[in-house]
Structures are given as structure tokens and as C-alpha cells.
Amino acid sequence: MLKRSLAAVAAALLLLSTPQASAAPRTSWAGAWATSPTTVPASDTTSFEDQTLRQVVHLSVGGDTLRVRLSNEFGTRPLVIGEAHVARRAGTAAAIDPRSDRRLTFGGRASATVPPGAPLLSDPVALPVTADSDLVVSIHLPRRTRADTVHAFPYQDGYVAAGNVTGHADPTPTAVLGKWHFLTGVAVTGRRAATVVAFGDSITDGAETTRNANRRWPDVLARRFQADRGLRHLGVVNAGISGNRLLHDPNPPAGHPAEGYANYFGQAALRRFDRDVLAQPGADHVVVLLGVNDLGHPGTSAPLSEKVSAQDVIDAHRQLIARAHARGLRVHGGTITPFKGDSFGFSSPENEAARQTVNRWIRTSGEYDGVIDFDRAVRDPRDPERLLAAYDSGDHLHPNDAGMAAMANAVPLRLFR
């Protein structure tokens, strides 16, 4: 009898340990959309009270279940969320498809209070969504709330309406939002789901691209993934912040006009890397495009005492590589794009020499897992220190829509297979 029982137990254990042909495919979370938050300058006194923020985000990958990440990471007081909803967008402006409207909950509750300095994840909600589509997140703020956790340059309109209209199909906006407020991520579930994080500055953020058109280079890369059967499981999230530097937080000289906007440049990349890259759901790859502001800001919007060398920039990149590898991510380096004759005062022989030194290291050192030659993709062959005119937004630093497409098309897809 004892032998028969032991045999039954052994058979059961063998059955549990043997892969079954009928087992469900592995599902996991991937980032479908994200943005990186910053604090605000003292001059930005925006606040909301008994209003609904209806914010539009563009999804890079689809899934059957989603969750939303909110943030009070730069707040100094608790953030009270009265109610929040998520829905698929219907057409343009603030309208949603009412059949897709879902109330978000937080630990099973419809309202939540977020402590200062903290993020907040919603509970998972069943809502099928597709790649390359718009999602609407509506947040009701019942109490007077200072808008002190933002992403300042979204190149995407949002809307504000009076009262709690989180579940309304087509509320009447009272204003257009020029920033993303308190909203930092949307993740979805999918088979073999994984995330590629685009980690950069204004060029990654999408500066000077067509508003509401989703033509940033990470958007175009996401569409390339969706067109490739072997890469459709990959989400792309944008962790670019306009004005961001590798080595320094914003530090405008006293009395300089930059005091009115420098806080939007965000914490230094070395400081925000864990939050904006490693904490992304399903993070598997990161593409780094940073360094131009480290060269260009000192003497323009930052003090000259923060001037850095090419070696300083290289050492900062090495830190990002080491930290990504320590968490098992593959990390790819993007070469710094040209800025000769730019409108911001970055261009100088010294800064160009430093750019060339950093780019040479990215291309030849072998320290990155992969190299993406953004510089080669957008430079003028007849004057390689300058953006090609067809790709120039007009300020000689930021690529236009066509330039962004050229950057995305320069990404070797083999790096992600």
C-alpha cells in the first residue's frame, strides 16, 4: 500500500514538472506608453480643483489587460484622486468610445491618495487595446491640487473639464492641456511581452515634431516593430526629457531666463535611470541617446562651471551600460546628432570635437551591446557637422518629422531579435 502511494506521488510530481502541449502561452507585462516626470519651476503655478484631466496617450503595443501608473513623485502634498477612468479614444479631441469605458481601481477602491514622492499603480483592468491606437485616461481631482509632477513637452493635446466627467463620452473641455499631469505609464499584458526603453533628451522626446501626430522616432520604431511578425511583442516607451543631461540636474544661473523653464529638463539621466528605465514593466532593451545638452548647456542655460569633457560623457555612458547589464538589459548606444549653427548656442569647435570623440567611442569601443548611428542617418554628407536640410526642423539641432523617420529607420532590427 505504501509503495503504491509513493508511486502515485512520484507520478503526480512528474506530471507537474513536465511541459504540457496544452499549457497557456506565457503572458507578461510590457510598457505600451510612458513618459518621464519632472518638477516645475516656481513660475508655474498651475493648479486644478474639482476638474477632470482627460489625457491622450498613444500605445506602442496592444494587449487584453492594462494598468495605469500615476505619479506624485515631485509633489509636496498628498495627491487625491477622486475617480479615474480609462477608455479607447473615439475620433479626435476628448471623445471616448463609451463601450470601452472602464473605471480604474486602486487596491479595489475607486479613489486613492498618493503620498508625496510616490507613484501609484492601478489594479489591472480587462480592456483589449491595439498597437498604434490612442487611449484616454481621465482623472478627477476633487481638491485644490498643484500641478507639480508633469511632463512639460508632450507634443500631444490633453483636455480639462469642469467637475467629475471621468466617465462621460464627450465632455466639453474648458481648456487644452499642454503638459501631461500626474500620468506616467500604461502597461499591457501580452504573449512574450517585453519593453524597449528610449532613454534620451528632446530629440527622443519629439521636440519640433508635428503635434498630435506621433512622429517621434520611438513612435516610428514601434510601428516598424508592429510590421515585423517577430517583433510585435515589443512595446516601446519614451523616456526622453527635453533639455535632459547625463551628469547634471537643472541649474540655471541666477537671473537667467532659464529659471522660468529649466526645472522641466528633469533630473540628470544618471539619477533617473532606475525609475525611468529599470522600473519599466518588462524592460528588456534600452536605447541611449544623450550627451548633446551636457556639451551645450554650460554657458547657455547652465553655469560654465558645469562644463564637461568628452571623457566625462563617455564615463557617464559607461555607468548606464554597467547598471543596465547588472539588471540583465541589453543596452544600445545612439550617436549624438549634428548641431552646427544651432539656434541655442551649442555649436562651437570645442563642442564639435567632443561630439566626434564620444561618437567614435560609441561606434568602436564595443562596450554597448549594439550601436545605432543616428548621426550618420541625419547628417549632411557634404557638411557632416550639420543636419541635412531635409531633416532640419529649422533650429539646426532638432530633426523634423522626416528626420525622425530617418532615425527610426536607422535602427537595426536585428538588435532586438
Compute how many other C-beta atoms are within 10 angstroms of the C-beta atom of residue 191. 12
Among 184, 205, 225, the domain-final residue is 184
- The answer to whether residues 123 and 84 belong to one domain is yes
The pLDDT of residue 26: 67
Q: Grid coordinates representing 267?
A: 533630473
% of the chain at pLDDT higher than 70: 94
Residue 7's pLDDT band, with cuts at 50, 70 and 90, is very low
Q: Residue 3 domain-assigned? A: no
Asked whether residue 19 is assigned to any structural domain, the reply reads: no
Q: How far, CA to CA in Å, does 272 sit from each of 103, 119, 157, 249?
A: 31, 14, 25, 10
Same domain (yes/no): 142, 111? yes
Average pLDDT for 194-210:
98
Contacts of 154 (CB under 8 A, 6+ apart): 35, 178, 179, 180
Q: What is the pLDDT of residue 18?
A: 37
Instruction: Judge if 372 and 340 occupy the same domain.
Output: yes
Q: Name the least confident of 21-35, 157-171, 185-199.
A: 21-35
pLDDT tier at 199 (50, 70, 90 boundaries)? very high
Q: Using an 8 Å Cβ cutoff, are 360 and 311 in contact?
A: no
The residue among 161, 184, 207 that closes a domain is: 184
Here the cell at position 5 is 502511494
User: What pTM was computed for the model?
Assistant: 0.93
Residue 20 pLDDT more than 80? no
User: Kindly report the CA angle at 374 between 369 and 379, in degrees rounded to 5?
Assistant: 150
232 and 363, same structural domain? yes
| Residue 111 vs residues 48, 181, 192, 371: alpha-carbon distances, Å | 17, 17, 32, 45
Same domain, 140 and 247: no
Using the 3D structure, point to which of 160, 184, 208 is the last residue of a domain: 184
Predicted pLDDT of residue 92: 78
Closest CA to 412 of 361, 383, 371: 371
Query: What's the grid cell of residue 292?
Result: 548633446
Whether residues 178 and 322 fall in one domain: no
Establish if 2 belongs to a structural domain: no
Residue 251: CB atoms within 10 Å: 16
Instruction: For residue 401, tell me if it sits in a domain.
Output: yes
94 has a pLDDT exceeding 70? yes
- The label of the residue with cell 547634471 reads 248
Question: How many independent structural domains does the chain possess?
Answer: 2
Could you tell me if 370 and 266 lie in one domain?
Answer: yes
Confidence of residue 25 (pLDDT cuts 50, 70, 90): low
pLDDT over 90 for what percent of the chain? 92
Residue 18 lies in a domain: no
19 pLDDT band, cuts 50/70/90, is: very low
Q: Give residue 27's pLDDT band: very low, low, confident or very high (50, 70, 90).
A: confident
With 90 as the cut, is the pLDDT of residue 355 above it? yes
Same domain, 239 and 168: no
The answer to whether position 274 is within a domain reads yes
Q: How high is the pLDDT of residue 23?
A: 45
Average pLDDT over residues 392-413: 98
Q: What is the CATH number of the domain that holds 380?
A: 3.40.50.1110
Same domain, 197 and 284: yes
pLDDT at 302: 97
Show the domain range for 42: 29-184
* Residue-wise pLDDT tens digits, 213-263: 999 999 999 999 999 999 999 999 999 999 999 999 999 999 999 999 999
- Confidence band for 265, pLDDT divided at 50, 70 and 90: very high
* pLDDT band at 182; cut points 50, 70, 90: very high
Q: Is residue 4 part of a domain?
A: no
Answer yes or no: do 163 and 203 share one domain.
no
| Residue 183 CB partners (closer than 8 Å, separation 6+) | 35, 53, 55, 57, 68, 69, 70, 71, 137, 139
Q: In terms of domains, do 379 and 303 share one?
A: yes
Give the CATH number, domain containing residue 96: 2.60.120
In whole numbers, what is the pLDDT of the chain averaged over residues? 94
Per the domain annotation, does 366 fall within a domain? yes
Phi, psi of 13 (to 5 degrees): -65, -40
Q: Is pLDDT at 59 greater than 50 in this prediction?
A: yes
Same domain? 72 vs 213: no
Residue 15 pLDDT exceeds 70: no
- Taking the C-alpha atoms of residue 231 and residue 222, their distance in angstroms, rounded to an integer, is 9
